Amino acid sequence: MKTRGRTRTTFSTACAAIWASSRIPPRPRIPARVTTSCPEKSANPCKKFLMTPAAREPRRPGREQIMDRIPITDYESGQIRDAGAVRHLRKALRLRPGEVFLGYDGMNELRLRLSSYEDGCARVEELARRTVSPAADLTIAQCLIKGARWDAFVEKVTELGAARILPVISERTVSSASRSGDESRLARWHRIARAAAAQSAGRTPVILDPMPFGAALDRLSAAAHKFIVCFEHGAAPLGRAVPAQARFAHTALLLGPEGDFTQKEIEAARAAGFVPAHLGSRILRSETAAATASALALHAMGALDAPMPDL
């Protein structure tokens, strides 16, 4: 009986040891996240939000931060009256007095220190000013294209550094923008160009009123280097056709609508001194062709090699 009892006890002990060794170890305890009352809503302590350690770090008064460039359309005598810019500074960026940001008025880049918010305006101290020059004296004469594609064209050639945009009405133009003048349409193009210039640290291009194909040829007659981008026999690659010295002279690129130019228009451009050039074997959408042609021309001029400016 004693032997049987010892065997029974030993067996129970062994089973307990095996069961203990096979148990899954408990998960490590995760510390609770820290909560704190919102400083802007301290009147209601019940409303709380989670904060990361970086967010809990106290803000140093008067510290300087360089923000993205903020487009400003109404700035004078140390005061920003542009409601959209003031709202962006106050609500989106939550900029406090003493902090520094970059403003952009279409021609100048301004390093500004916020002083205060007063009556829907922002009072600032101007620390530095830099006049933004176009990458090159390049005019993009683009035949009007439909809808949002034209807006994309304006945005992309502005980012690349075009100095002027000339909307052209050709025989195959089908865009509604080719009809009677519309001030709201031109205002939208200017807004798109200003935003693109602010984003790309460039200068807002001059956007001319739309004009017929023949009038556009006359308008560009004084350009030193003129190219019509088309699928024409004998046309040279645009990247090789644009000379490096074109950066210091007025250069014009003429690009067609969705259906390209007619043969009659190509011959008229040739007679006006335009050199046919192509973008390769790919068939590109009009807005893509304009951005590609602008980039190739600016690269050939050396305009894309400039170092980043300091302010």
- DSSP character at residue 303: G
| 139-149 pLDDT per residue, tens | 999 999 988 89
Radius of gyration of the chain (CA): 32
pTM passes above 0.75 = no
pLDDT above 90 coverage of the chain, percent: 40
Instruction: Provide the 3-class DSSP secondary structure of residue 131.
Output: strand
Give the pLDDT band of residue 61 (cuts 50, 70, 90): very low
Round to the nearest angstrom and report the end-to-end CA distance of the chain: 97
User: Which two tokens mark 156?
Assistant: 């992309």
Instruction: Provide the 3-class DSSP secondary structure of residue 146.
Output: coil
CATH 2.40.240.20 boundaries in the chain: 63-131
What CATH number labels 63-131?
Answer: 2.40.240.20
Per DSSP (E only), the strands in the chain are 35-37, 48-50, 69-71, 75-76, 79-80, 100-104, 108-118, 121-131, 138-143, 164-169, 206-207, 211-212, 225-229, 236-237, 251-255, 275-278
Nearest alpha-carbon partner for 262 in 231, 287, 217, 234: 231
Q: Which residues of 190-229 are buried (b: 16+ CB within 10 A; e: fewer)?
A: bebbbebbbebbbbbbebbebbebeebbebbeebebbbbb
CB neighbour class for 116 (10 Å; exposed up to 12, middle 13-18, buried from 19): exposed
Distance of alpha carbon 160 from alpha carbon 197, whole angstroms: 9
User: pLDDT at position 220, please?
Assistant: 95
User: Chain-wide mean pLDDT for the chain?
Assistant: 80
Segment 225-251 mean pLDDT: 88
CATH 3.40.1280.10 boundaries in the chain: 138-304
| 97-151 pLDDT per residue, tens | 999 998 888 788 889 999 999 888 999 999 998 887 777 889 999 999 988 899 9
| 34-45 pLDDT per residue, tens | 544 444 444 544
User: Which two tokens mark 207?
Assistant: 């956007």
Give the pLDDT band of residue 60 (cuts 50, 70, 90): very low
Segment 192-199 mean pLDDT: 86
User: pLDDT at position 55, please?
Assistant: 40
The CATH architecture to which 138-304 belongs is 3-Layer(aba) Sandwich (3.40)
The total of other beta-carbon atoms located within 10 Å of residue 183's CB is 7
Nearest alpha-carbon partner for 117 in 138, 147, 96, 134: 96
Give the pLDDT band of residue 48 (cuts 50, 70, 90): very low
User: pLDDT at position 57, please?
Assistant: 42
Nearby residues of 90 by Cβ (< 8 Å), 6 or more positions away:
117, 122
- Specify the range with the lowest mean pLDDT, choosing from 12-16, 172-176, 212-216, 303-307: 12-16
